[in-house]
Amino acid sequence: MGHPLRELDTSALRAHVAGELERTRLRSAELTDAVDDDDLVRQHSRLMSPLVWDLAHVGNQEELWLVRDVGGREPLRQDIDELYDAFQHPRAKRPSLPLLGPAETRGYIAEVRKKALDVLERAPMEGRRLTETAFAFGMIVQHEQQHDETMLATHQLRSGPPVLHAPDPPSAPAGAPPAEVLVPGGPFTMGTSTEPWALDNERPAHTEHVAPFFLDTTPVSNARYAEFIADGGYDDPRWWSTAGWQRRRDAELTAPRFWQRDGDRWMRRRFGVFEPVPPDEPVLHVSYYEAEAYASWAGRRLPTEQEWEKAARYDPGTGRSRRYPWGDEDPTPELANLGQRHLRPAAIGAYPAGASALGVRQLIGDVWEWTSSDFHGYPEFCAFPYAEYSQAFFGADYKVLRGGSFGTDAAACRASFRNWDYPIRRQIFSGFRTARDPLPGEAG
């Protein structure tokens, strides 16, 4: 399968990269210009960095990889490298560092971008893996977009009146899809070796064998999750793993994060707006442990990462794996809820044009979906361009999430894209769908 980026000549490729860098920076500016300087330097939660740290960090990474490495230029601010090294300082302690102020940060990232664009115009796009098909530039675009989603999560945690605004997502079409679909057993191609900007943990493409299983056609809704709560799900250890029950007790969990009881209804806080919980939206801000407990209560389970990707990519008509559930073309507003176009998930069953070949909806966008899989490298994994991007996180401490959210940009979301986080995390835009094994005779 070819890829559009590989078909561009060098001039068109440079123009495409410049456009992606500019589009991404506009989003970063929207997220940071929406608040005053006091808000930029304030830590709104110990789980998150001050917004000004994220902004300087994306500039520092751009300087390290594009200006210094690809371009071979002299450092602009080598003195701040350690300050903005994410491995050197936990988020809770970053406000105490001698960080650049808002004005200095904006000046720094602007100067870095000026030099990076000059490198883009001059650097060869072949002869080196880091620059082939502009990989290093694509890596920086994705890195900044990932931090933009992190900054969006920080906005959700900040107090005060709303400062971000967006239209509501489209409603679901009339007629509910079937509750679940059968995903056939057998081999499929997982991962990718052809996606030019795919990150190391997505590589290489390899064959996985998956037994037949049933998967929810849509993510679990707020209404269904509220039934779990009403049935005493948070008070019954039968549904929880040992680690999950311990976490539920230690953190005194009673509902998804940002939910609050108001008389006979649930309310939530969403980017400064206090509103009733919409029953027909995917449940949001739940941890892996909560998703796991709900699935157990429902007599189901969470899908494995392999199952999720087969449901998303496998085309039974051709036997090949698509780039996205709907095919190989890039996402559009008609196919998925991505890129902070809306500030909430779309209703259950929305985006029918974005369904997979098997009829599974909303696999891309809306909410990150927890899987039951730990985060590990694929067979023949090779760290690139640095071990800390993925390899440092391999192991049982992290669970894999798939599919992206309404806050994930299309540049950082493919059907092969892998996200990971601690199973206790709830500030992220996380939801889930459930799976089950076939009963005798159900799989054909």
d(CA 416, CA 204): 11
Supply the pLDDT for residue 176: 83
pLDDT, tens digit, 9 for 90 and up, residues 50-78 = 999 999 999 999 999 999 999 999 999 99
User: Quick one: pLDDT band at residue 387, thresholds 50, 70, 90?
Assistant: confident
Give mean pLDDT, residues 384-401. 95
Supply the pLDDT for residue 2: 60
Pairwise pLDDT comparison (167 vs 443), residue with the higher score: 167
Task: Decide if pLDDT at 1 tops 70.
Answer: no
3-state secondary structure (DSSP) of residue 190: strand
Give mean pLDDT, residues 362-366. 98
With beta carbons less than 8 A apart as the criterion, state whether 436 and 301 touch: yes
Supply the pLDDT for residue 6: 86
Q: Does the pTM of the predicted model rise above 0.95?
A: yes
With beta carbons less than 8 A apart as the criterion, state whether 39 and 158 touch: yes
335: exposed, middle or buried (Cβ count in 10 Å: 0-12, 13-18, 19+): buried
Task: Decide if pLDDT at 172 tops 80.
Answer: yes
Task: Decide if pLDDT at 7 tops 90.
Answer: no
pLDDT, tens digit, 9 for 90 and up, residues 192-210 = 999 999 999 999 999 999 9
Supply the pLDDT for residue 4: 82
With beta carbons less than 8 A apart as the criterion, state whether 331 and 324 touch: yes
**Using only C-alpha atoms, what is the Rg of the chain?**
22
273: left (phi over 0), alpha (psi -120 to 50) or beta: beta
Supply the pLDDT for residue 82: 96
Q: What percent of the chain has pLDDT over 90?
A: 95
Give mean pLDDT, residues 272-278. 98
User: What Cα–Cα distance (Å) separates residue 384 from each residue in 85, 170, 273, 285, 413?
Assistant: 18, 39, 42, 31, 19
User: Quick one: pLDDT band at residue 280, thresholds 50, 70, 90?
Assistant: very high
Average pLDDT over all residues of the chain: 96
pLDDT, tens digit, 9 for 90 and up, residues 413-434 = 999 999 999 999 999 999 999 9
- Domains contained in the chain, CATH given: 4-157 (1.20.120.450), 174-444 (3.90.1580.10)
Task: Decide if pLDDT at 325 tops 90.
Answer: yes
d(CA 66, CA 203): 23
87: exposed, middle or buried (Cβ count in 10 Å: 0-12, 13-18, 19+): exposed
Amino acid at position 22, single letter: E
- Torsion 99-103-106-110 (CA) sign: negative
pLDDT, tens digit, 9 for 90 and up, residues 347-356 = 999 999 999 9
pLDDT, tens digit, 9 for 90 and up, residues 104-161 = 999 999 999 999 999 999 999 888 999 999 999 999 999 999 999 999 999 999 999 9
The DSSP 8-state label assigned to residue 93 in this structure reads: G
Task: Decide if pLDDT at 320 tops 80.
Answer: yes
